[in-house]
Structure 1
Amino acid sequence: MNHPLRKAQWYSLAIVALAGDQAAKTYIDMTTPLGWSHEVTSFFNLVHVLNPGAAFSFLAGAGGWQRWFFLAIALVVSAWLVWQLSRPLRKLEALSYSLILGGALGNAFDRAVRGQVIDYLDFHLRGWHWPAFNVADMAIVGGAIALVVQSLMSTENPTAAKETR
């Protein structure tokens, strides 16, 4: 049984992740200059940097073609996630896909409109520095972690019933 309200809940979560990501990026972009850095704690800075590549600045210096490559991947993955969310899913699986969808669309929007992704969260500790990231990245990673947890739970209980929607 399909419940349209249940589907709307998952699509709404993706929209909230996308909107939160874009609101934060817009705020950083409008209120700070590129290259700006502000120490918040001894291990965390707010920054304003652009990433033309993917995670960990993968292919950042590739000459520009990577913008369209990563945008195409994000759009294909997003279409697949929308399709997945239209099917009956366990709640944690639907949560995973929703978060990944919102994050993928957030970074895809940046690539399409700005040409690069705005990153602003910068963590470091004792000489170890994590590359700057954003809310979209957190949604994607959170969704991926939830998907792994769902997978492990499914292994433990292979007869777990799918959520009815």
Structure 2
Amino acid sequence: MLRIGLLLALAVLAVDQATKWYMLFVLDLPRVGHIPLVALGPFGFDLTMVWNRGVTFGLLAGEGPWSQTLLALLALGIAGFLLRWMARAENRLTALALGAVVGGAVGNVIDRFRFGGVADFFDAHAWGWHWYVFNPADAAIVLGVMALIGDALIRPSPAVKGSVP
């Protein structure tokens, strides 16, 4: 299971870093700021440059290098814990979900060390309400956590498997 999870983690990391490179250095989104992409009625999807110096939704944001280093080290510690869990994963879904979270976490850690914050640029919105601006690493983390929660809620426990209704 470890191999499957690690392969997905590497794929997530590669897609995340390639997308960030394209947004930052080819499209030059930090200079451009905003590019409207799709508008379907009240729904829209744009590219909007945001530097997230905190964690989810900008919580715990700090401007100094120490705060970025602390958040990056915390994320690396969590990724290490998840790698250990991945090595002991009981099924493919758990290994893949953990791989998505680890790959996303490492992608955002790289941003913190390179840029002092995480590059976010995908902006989904509807009826004038904008979801938080995110990147591929964030999407992988959210999907991985959702898969872990779904697996925990749906998969029967060993005690339930052998019981008779």
TM over 0.5: yes
For residue 41 of structure 1, the aligned residue among 38, 41, 46 is 38
- Deviation sequence 1:124-143 (CA, Å, 0-9, x none): 11121112100000000000
2:4–2:92 Cα contact (<8 Å) kept: no
Between the aligned partners of 2:108 and 2:18, the Cα distance in structure 1 is 12
Q: Could you tell me which runs of 5 or more consecutive residues in structure 1 were left unpaired when the two chains were aligned.
A: 1-5
Counterpart of 2:157 in structure 1 is 158
> Which residue of the partner structure matches residue 10 of structure 2?
15
Alignment check: 8 A CA contact 2:34 2:48 kept:
yes
Cα pair 2:46 2:122 within 8 Å, conserved: yes
Q: Which amino acid in structure 2 is aligned with residue 16 of structure 1? A: A
How far apart are 1:88 and its partner, in Å?
4.0
Q: 1:3: which partner in 2?
A: none
TM-score (norm. length: structure 2)? 0.86
Q: Deviations over 1:105-153 (max 9, x none)?
A: 0001111121111011001111211121000000000000000111012
Map 1:21-100 → 2, pairs under 5 A = 21-31=16-26, 32-34=28-30, 36-42=33-39, 43-60=44-61, 62-64=62-64, 65-100=66-101
Contact preservation (8 Å) 2:4, 2:95: no
Q: Secondary structure at the residue paired with 2:154? A: helix
Aligned length, in residue pairs: 153
The 10-residue stretch of structure 1 (7-16 or 97-106) with the greater mean CA deviation from structure 2: 7-16
2: CA distance, partners of 1:33 / 1:140: 23
- C-alpha separation in 1, matches of 2:89 and 2:149: 18
Code of the aligned partner of 1:82: L
Deviating more after overlay: 125-134 vs 83-92: 83-92
Secondary structure of the residue aligned to 2:19 is helix
Q: Which runs of 4+ in 1 moved over 6 A?
A: none
Instruction: Provide the identity percentage.
Output: 35
CA deviation vs aligned residue, 1:54-88 (integer Å, no higher than 9, x gap)? 1111133x332431221011110111111112114
Partner-residue secondary structure (3-state), 1:148: helix
Residue 53 of structure 1 aligns to a residue whose secondary structure is coil
1:88–1:55: structure 2 CA closer, same or farther, 3 Å change rule?
Answer: closer
RMSD of equivalent CA atoms: 1.7
